[in-house]
Structure 1
Amino acid sequence: MKKHFRLRAALLSLVMLVLLVAIWQVATQPRQPAAAAAPVDAEYAALMGQPVGNSGASKKTNGFPTPAQFAEVAARQLSDPFYDRGPNDKGIGIQLAHSLVRVAGGYLLAMLVAVPLGFLIGTSPLIYKALDPFIQILKPISPLAWMPIALYTIKDSSISAIFVIFICSVWPMLINTAFGVAGTRKDWLNVASTLEVGPLRKAFRVILPAAAPTIITGMRIAMGIAWLVIVAAEMLVGGTGIGYFVWNEWNNLSLSNVIFAVLVIGIVGMALDMMFATLQKKVTYAE
């Protein structure tokens, strides 16, 4: 029954994909340019590389790509993803690697801070009350709002991006860890106390297994936010990364490359989420 349901869902997804591609194809069909265009429309068409008025071109030559044009660009990018022809011309693989390294650095730092501190907050109501005002003030601040401060103090764009990932990843992990630890069943803790289990062993053998599903949920949310933020951060700081690739290709008026990069961002984000979803299933138990 479950296998049949998955097959039907996959077929429905395939039908939706075909429908979207068909709409895309119809929407990007070449068309005759207008004989005369308003100044604003003419300026926009010139910016996008489209013919303006009686410029000699009979049809739309580029701009938003057709599915065939996009497939051609995607095949070219994937055929050599690690080429390096200078600062502003690197393959999608190199740009993606830079982004993943930054995300990994900031995320691991956040995990090293958030999980132990979340344990402490979850086990101590006093520390929770003391730290709660700071958490409530800092949590709503947009991670990108920290970028100017990071650039001024750190004076390195890559490390500043790592700091932004750290500051956006720490809150979901901290809050979910504290919630999971505080929600550990009291009878389990009472049994551990009856057996005179030490604090360290109680933390690893009782509290951590009970709180693990909630902690992994926080880590999963944090990874989604981190991957979302790194793209915007790299657009601001420039240099390397998938976000910079998107911005640079937009400046080059290559919408095909922009759409390809957006698709890559989505696929990588989905892969990262699936990784944490698998981990979450492994640590979740049925009562």
Structure 2
Amino acid sequence: MRIDDLPPVRGTLTPDRPLADLSWLRVGGPADVLFQPADEEDLRAFLGALPAKVPVFPMGVGSNLIIRDGGIRGVVIRLGRGFNGIETLAGGRVRAGSAALDAHVARKAAQAGIDLGFLRTIPGAIGGALRMNAGCYGRYVADAFVSARGVLRDGTAITLGPEDMGFAYRSTALPPDLVLTEAVFEGPERPPEEIEAAMEEALAKRAATQPVKDRSAGSTFRNPAGYSSTGRADDVHDLKAWKLIEDAGMKGARLGGAQMSEIHANFLINRSDATATELELLGERVRETVFAKSGIRLEWEIMRVGEAVKTEAGAG
């Protein structure tokens, strides 16, 4: 794919762009083309003129991704400064661009006395949090969601309500090539100092129980029990992935530079220059071992995208 063959843009098109530095795990091959649109109008015009045969992958800040070593074919779309605004509204609501960091949204909301504190400890940006129905300590995006805007593969802009999202536990039913551009959330109105104190407590709890200083992509596998997390009172996930991994003897397991954290068994970390192949193979080894031990098949929470390369990953 040549840049000259792509529609003109006001943003930036970069051919053969390495993606490892855009991923929290610091792995992965290049995108054929990386597109960073100037604004939603630029994004709509580009997608509307882009041939339908060219695949598109919307990428956030890479906090929940294993990008395979062979890279991603087609166009990777990464939203930036034109999509990171945060605005507090009346009625306990906040409008945030998809590129706004979750933590920044939580802090800006808190200053206005709006409690979206559950976002404070979630790594990544709003677009990814929307797509994955991210949550922490019993609250999920679905609980606070009001509406969202997005751009379809053909360049059409759409507005999404809760019924359009298909919220489920750590997932939605959104098309993979839909580019989310902004969302509106609603939270309880409380004194800012109370919200700040609760967020600080959550941060301290996270630091004490998770490998926050290591290169990871957050929780590796979904908790296997319970109902879809859509805010219902009967949502429970008592069977924890970390417990199954520990019971299977895979806490701290290594493969090359990849390791299951010794702090939290459900965190896959890049310990020492791991490849994407090593990370994914270790994850699959954990799944196989847990299944052999418990009969339960863990499901990936981390998204794995792109093309693999034939590499022999050695055990460490």
Range into which the TM-score falls when normalised by the shorter chain: under 0.3
Higher helix share: 1
Which of structures 1 and 2 has the bigger CA Rg?
Answer: 1
Q: TM-score, normalised by structure 2?
A: 0.21
Higher strand share: 2
Q: TM-score, normalised by structure 1?
A: 0.23
Q: Which has the higher contact order (CA 8 A, sep 6+)?
A: 1
